[in-house]
A and B are shown apart, each in its own frame.
Chain A
Amino acid sequence: MSATAKMRASEKAALCSEKQLRNIAQTVIRLGKAAGAEETEVHLDETLDALTRFANNGIHQNVAEHGLTISVRTVLDGKTARVSTNKLDQDSLRSAVESSLSLAASQPKAPHLLPMPGGQKYKRVKRYMRATAELTPEDRAHAVRKACDLAVKEGQVAAGIFVSGQMQSAIANSRGLFAAHRQTRAEFSITMQQDPAASWAKGNAADVRELDPLALAKRASAKAKLAASAVELAPQKYTVILEPAAVLDLVGFLFYDFAATAVEDKRSCLNDRMGKPLFGKNISLMDDVYHPGQLGAPFDGEGVPRQRVVLADNGVPRNLVYGRAAARRAGKKPTGHGFTLPNEYGEAPMNLVFAGGKASLDEMIASTEHGLLVTRLWYIREVDPYEKVMTGMTRDGLFRVEKGKVTTAARNFRFNQSVLEMLRNVEMMSPSARAAGEESFEMVVPAMKIKGFQFTEVTKF
């Protein structure tokens, strides 16, 4: 093979094989033992991602990245610390191990540090799709071109992204644990602007064949047309129909409240509320990484297998999730939701699945005498951590519903709304499905019709 041909062949980047990951991990564990570590844990995280970004009906940014990070945690005399590097040579790995030991030695002994877990058994999840991994910049450009052509035809301006990528993560430790997971990710989101308004649509899946960029573009385009002439309404309580992206971005802020460490630290809204009715009886949610609408690894930051956990059942918060340390303190079994150690936050459910209902979005609209249909929410922040009052804005399509029909667009509102109260006021739900927003990670949620949603101010568009 000529030098040029060799170089061209090497241009096609690929993730490391599992064997390569195992070899790196074993090298680090061996270096740890040689340096005197009582225990050594290795995390390997590799990303091979590409993102095509468009605005003003053309591609303006187009990027790709490839990186592998090795993170080492050692334990010596009841003390632990972590050092990460992306240098793979032997000297750099040795230096990372030695730095980790040196950091660990500089602190007081941690009285309750647990020994690392031994080998575990994992349930397989299939989330790596070759069609996604093999998507090229040209494929993404052609899809973007079609969406932009639609915008031009409709007299609109398109902006958005088309992402395709692959990632893998592995954990190994000196007690024989090894866990590895790889997955692909495809995402298309689009904002169609029709002066002075805009609308938006987004899809996200492991398999790019489940995404239809043009269909998303058409949806955003049609809604932008409707949004273009907005009326100003008075800010007050309204019945709202939140599309799944809006539901997701609000309820996503609840995830950390279900962490055992957050409750122990008394910073959760579930302090003194576990086992008591808190939401409406129609609200049940669980954490389930194995749900077909979810992505993610079947193990946590220490390599413990993730469990399905019912978080709330018929409106009553029933269970928390536990990392190993929090589980030991509470006398419970770890649920496989721990973060990478050392950390002060413990754990969190990252794969929320809401039990939905049976209504369609159209049925929710048809059943509404006076209300608002909300496409998405924006810049959501916590105002009151215990009542879980969140503030934020509506964005990219707020529509008035009157006598069962969408009638006109409305200027965007600011809300100040307790999520707890909101989940007591859910009147109808659609079946749950994987949804993607911008303020929270993807999860499986329904659209919701909610009474008495508090809007407090209105903006200029």
Chain B
Amino acid sequence: MKESFFRSMAWLHTWVGLLVCWLLFLIFFAGTISFFKDEVTIWAEPETHHVKQQVQRVQSQAEQINYVFAQLQHQAPNSLSWRINLPEPRNPILSYGYAEPKQPGQRRAPFNYTHLDPNTLEQLPAPRDTKGGNFFYRLHFDLHYIDVFTARIIVCLASLFMLVALVTGIVIHKRIFKDMFSFRANKGSRSWLDAHNVSSVLALPFHIMITYTGIITLIFMLFPYPAETVYEDGLKQMFEEALPINKRAKPSEEQRPLIAINDVLDQIYTKSPNADISYVFVRNANTATSQIVVYLATGKDVVDNGPRYLFNGVTGELEASSGEDWSASAQFYDSMTALHSGRLAEPLLRWLYFFCGVAGCAMIATGCIMWAKRLRERLKADQKPSFGLKLVETLNLATLMGLPFATAAFFIANRLLPLELAERADKEILVFFLAWLAMLIIAVSGREKHHWRYSAWLNAIACFLVPVVNALTTDGNWITYLLTKQWALFGIDSAFICAGLLFLLQSKKIPSHKTVINKAKSNKNRLLKEQQG
């Protein structure tokens, strides 16, 4: 491409990075929040905040499953699908649901959920209609308002660009270790370069891991060809071989009573006496083709799928299982997904994941700001900025300041939107995008220092509002969460307070107009001297 390998790589790094940096920022930002997906969902459903974590969680599972089965036999004996979600260390609620008959015109059968307090088995009030943490989780690979398949292809391509940018970034970077400890503040684009280097190098293994494994989670959509070549029926046949428990029996008209669930549980406890059950599914309940599927938790293994068992619902016979003995390749593939989702991470490791994700956001943000800064610095006094430069600056302000603002707006909307609103969950998401649009309008109106300062102020206010609105609209607040040790809720409120403080700091750090001109002059002189020297 260029005269030397080094220059080609520098060129590639710049352009591959710049082309997709805003989309990558969205993916990294939403993905980083998704590490706390369960916690965000708990925060978003204050109706269940009073539920305490069970002391003997695993020991009471058999009793809970028996109780729920009795309920389901009573409520929906002929449903095509039952589901039981048992309490987990990160989510204390016991919930179950069944599929209602599908109405014509519906794509999927609606699911009717009931939530229980696992300690007393009393029914809890239905939580508000919200997507909670699932919104951010979906946003980071399905985007929103566009077709899922298209979105995933776009996300895959952006991730590939990211991987290329990472590799070329390492190639053009000659002093990885030294740069880890160098930061020169207040030196124009040089400072941004240093910030870019520090945030990249410090968490480099994480950046490469999360990007690579991210593509792997969608890999069969991107590269179905090996499976299509090796298997006659392609992907479908491969998945059936890999996960035989997913093979659904056809619904049958013939009525046959479901086996007592204890017969199934006994088989599981004989296999592994301390089994920690995550989910129980029943397909085609009370018919000749009924099936019972049990998912166990992954425990501390680096795999995304724990052991899973498929039982015949009439005879109680074990028909298939998966995830018990992995081959090396299967373990290799599955551990990649596990590393990406970070479901294995205990609290401390989860925070490490989170801060590495924040470093990733910082790396992308500093990268795209630096590009604009450099062009600005090189503009002569009489030169007007090009359209490309203005576009990049607009998108920088709109994305970097808009996404945190939209996130805070989403959390506030969760508390303030009326509970009886139709399609309330979608309205929350609408608020998210409207807030983002508002920031885009600010960015279009101008990208001067004071626009950045205003948006930093707006962000700080929005972030501080989240714990305040939460305290005013629910029974708990930041202090009581600390006293009652509700760490998920305390953590989210604290995160918003920290973010608000950071935005305050940012607005203080952005210099006023006069000092900018003086600084720019001295910077230019310094750059000239450096280039001469």
Q: Indicate whether A and B interact.
A: no
